Structure 1
Amino acid sequence: MTLPMRGIKVVDLSTLLPGPMCTLFMAEAGADVVKIERPVGGDEMRSYVPKLGADSVNFGLLNRGKRSVAIDLKSEAGREAALALIARADVLVEQFRPGVMDRLGLGYETVAEKNPRLVYCSITGYGQTGPKSEVAAHDLNYLAESGMLALSAGSDGAPVLPPALIADIAGGAYPAIMNILFALRQRDQTEQGCRLDISMADNLFTLMYWALGNGESGYGWPKPGRELVTGGTARYQIYRAADGRYLAAAPLEEKFWQNFTRVIGAPELATADGLDPAVKERVAALIESEPSNVWVERFADVDACTVRIVGLDEAVKDPHFVQRGLFNRKVRMPGGAIMTALPVPVADAFRAADVVRDSPALGGGEPRFEHDV
């Protein structure tokens, strides 16, 4: 099988989550990814807990199939070694604050002189330009300043901490890999590389397309707990059952809503306005009258878009996901321990057949690509 990224050489200067996830996608599709790390400690993610052997499981999940090279970028010898690698690379991914790569002597203009075909991808919180470009921040801060966090509220009206690192992944890693692939395709046509400026905060606005549409149309800027997907309707809601577990109900379309109201024993609500607070209260009372397992049985063969909320420990055992092979691939950590690999959105047709791949030991490789002579 010919992997789509085979022959593509990637220098990974990123740490923690967004960049490493982006280069993981490329490694899974056959790219040769060389991860440059600090000689002492390496990527900070290595030190996180929990650990499996010397490294954190987080590091192993994000760096499967790559090779690590320990280089001190602040030394002249280290800079020259990095430049030698970059001169032969197709893609560079970095995640420093704006200006740091220039100060290291590895800025785009410098390396593009040596390698004009290079796709140089910079991932930052607020982008390379603008008043906030050098502000220190994390995922939660980007959510807060983009307006996304304000749309998520608990029963007391306060914003709720999201359970996923949305900006890092949906605002950073995913746009980065997408634009890298666009740039490589453009290079096929022009023979020229380019600089990519990936802002995690910028890319959050894409995820709020409906909210922007509401505001721009004059319908009104959305509020938490009031809109179609923020808790304002009985048709898109979380309901507590008698056993303390919860149902996720999303019967938005008429046919689903009719089925839903019939199953809960209130067919008269089929024509009711889901935005009416009284309707939400009625539905909530009916759901809370029975334990969740009863509702699971009643909705089992009905198209009503209603399911029980399960924990991650239950989800990974779901026969559907197991049958689809999401958790078949493995990571071998330094020292030999093996764990389940991170499921990634790379089609099986584009991935190597080897099920077990290594997470690299710090500095375990040479500063070269696999097929360098």
Structure 2
Amino acid sequence: MKPLAGLRILEFDGLGPVTFAGMVLADMGADVLRLSRSATAGAPVFAEVGGEVLHRGRAAVPVNLKDTADHARVLTLIDSADALIEGFRPGVMERLGLGPEACAGRNPRLVYGRITGWGQTGPMASEVGHDINYIALSGALHAMGRADQPPAPPLNLIGDYAGGAMMLVTGVLAALVEARTTGKGRAVDAAMTDGSALLTSLFHALRARGLWSDARGTNLLDGGAPFYRCYACRDGRFVAVGALEPRFYAALIAGLGLTPDSAPQYETAGWSALHDRFAAIFASQDRDHWAARFAGTDACVTPVLSLEEAPSHPHNVARGTFVGSAVVQPAPAPRFADVPALPTPQPEPLSLDQALSRWS
């Protein structure tokens, strides 16, 4: 049995982080009902980008929240829910009569999870934005990319998913533990600016000790160090090098055919020249040559795999990191003992009446 089996969660459908959070909670066994916008509300039921991957494990329940009958049925579902998650702009749920206070009046033990870019309060709370804007304001984006280029967006992993969805999941689960003890739920305000700022804690600690510079591409973990970065290979593909510790660096140097005296690790004044030497050596062979050369060593050198390649790597195959054939997708994570790491397919949609019957 999965660890969240028996937990009832209402997901008010949206793009990005709330969808990902709903997937993670469903992967862990929660009974999640995804309230999607009905065709009568102005959008087709399955028009969202998540498809069968991000929408796996929970049924869509089409609703029109402006319809009084649908609205009343949603309130009845809230009465039976353990948690609710939503990602609308501040004030939207309150205007619909579905804000935290209204819901708590009906169901005092309800945990109300909210995710936005800027948070529920603050001078920018009502402004629009996307992942790139939130991580720009938190300071995270500035540290990413080459020294001579503008900051490089890390896909939408840092704001939407790590700083947003996973913080929402963490907060909701913490509040559910409290609610089971006290019988009283609470609202969880997950802001992507807050979450992505929290993810930079290490770099604030290093900066306070004079060990991190705001000059991008000059630090230990931002590509400034020649032993912690990616290199192009002869075939146009890449390897990732993460030889931070001296003994790992020694294995890297040996694999490249160099001697320790010719390539001192922490003489930062020589990092630029050392990078050029490493780059020339890696460019002399194909990526898979280097992958084979360093396999089984302590050099911390791995091939940079594409989204297409990653599911076929022997390690990922052995662990079942990816599943599916027609649609390949990441398996649920983390793993739990005695629980197969397999996603539940996306069920057929339910009507509101069917959803009510299921939770009655």
Give yes or no for the alignment of 1:316 onto 2:304.
no
> Per-residue CA shift, 1:254-297, capped at 9, x if unaligned?
00111111221211235343532222222222222333333223
Contact between 1:14 and 1:96, CA under 8 Å: does it hold in 2? no
Segments of 5+ residues of structure 2 without an aligned counterpart are none
- Equivalent residue in structure 2 for 1:273, among 266, 271, 280: 266
2:345 aligns to what? Answer: 357
Q: Structure 2 vs 1, CA of residues 301 and 3 (structure 1 numbering), >3 Å: closer, same or farther?
A: closer
- Equivalent residue in structure 2 for 1:288, among 268, 283, 288: 283
| AA partner of residue 92 (structure 1) | L
Residues paired across the two proteins, number? 356
Does 1 or 2 have the higher relative contact order (CA < 8 Å, sep 6+)? 1
2:170 aligns to what? Answer: 178
Contact between 2:73 and 2:356, CA under 8 Å: does it hold in 1? no
In the aligned structure 2, how far is the partner of 1:225 from the partner of 1:115? 51
Q: Structure 2 vs 1, CA of residues 346 and 126 (structure 1 numbering), >3 Å: closer, same or farther?
A: same
1:334 aligns to what? Answer: none
Deviation at 1:77, TM superposition (A): 2.1
In the aligned structure 1, how far is the partner of 2:251 from the partner of 2:44? 51
Which secondary structure state, in structure 2, belongs to the residue aligned with residue 271 of structure 1?
Answer: coil
Contact between 1:119 and 1:195, CA under 8 Å: does it hold in 2? yes
In the aligned structure 2, how far is the partner of 1:130 from the partner of 1:192? 26
Q: Structure 2 vs 1, CA of residues 8 and 23 (structure 1 numbering), >3 Å: closer, same or farther?
A: same
Contact between 1:64 and 1:360, CA under 8 Å: does it hold in 2? no
Contact between 1:258 and 1:270, CA under 8 Å: does it hold in 2? no
Which secondary structure state, in structure 2, belongs to the residue aligned with residue 69 of structure 1?
Answer: strand
In the aligned structure 2, how far is the partner of 1:278 from the partner of 1:221? 20
- Equivalent residue in structure 1 for 2:327, among 331, 339, 355: 339
2:46 aligns to what? Answer: 46
TM-score with structure 2 length normalisation? 0.90
In the aligned structure 2, how far is the partner of 1:98 from the partner of 1:104? 12
The percent identity for this pair of structures is 33
> Per-residue CA shift, 1:44-81, capped at 9, x if unaligned?
89335xxxxxxx5x321112121222221123222211
| AA partner of residue 287 (structure 1) | F
TM-score with structure 1 length normalisation? 0.87
Give yes or no for the alignment of 1:117 onto 2:75.
no
1:212 aligns to what? Answer: 204
1:37 aligns to what? Answer: 36
2:20 aligns to what? Answer: 21
Give yes or no for the alignment of 1:86 onto 2:78.
yes
2:6 aligns to what? Answer: 7
In the aligned structure 1, how far is the partner of 2:294 from the partner of 2:336? 33
| AA partner of residue 358 (structure 1) | Q
Give yes or no for the alignment of 1:232 onto 2:217.
no
- Equivalent residue in structure 1 for 2:54, among 53, 62, 72: 62
Deviation at 1:354, TM superposition (A): 7.5
Segments of 5+ residues of structure 1 without an aligned counterpart are 49-55, 331-337
> Per-residue CA shift, 1:17-58, capped at 9, x if unaligned?
21122122222222221111221278889335xxxxxxx5x3
Give yes or no for the alignment of 1:108 onto 2:103.
no
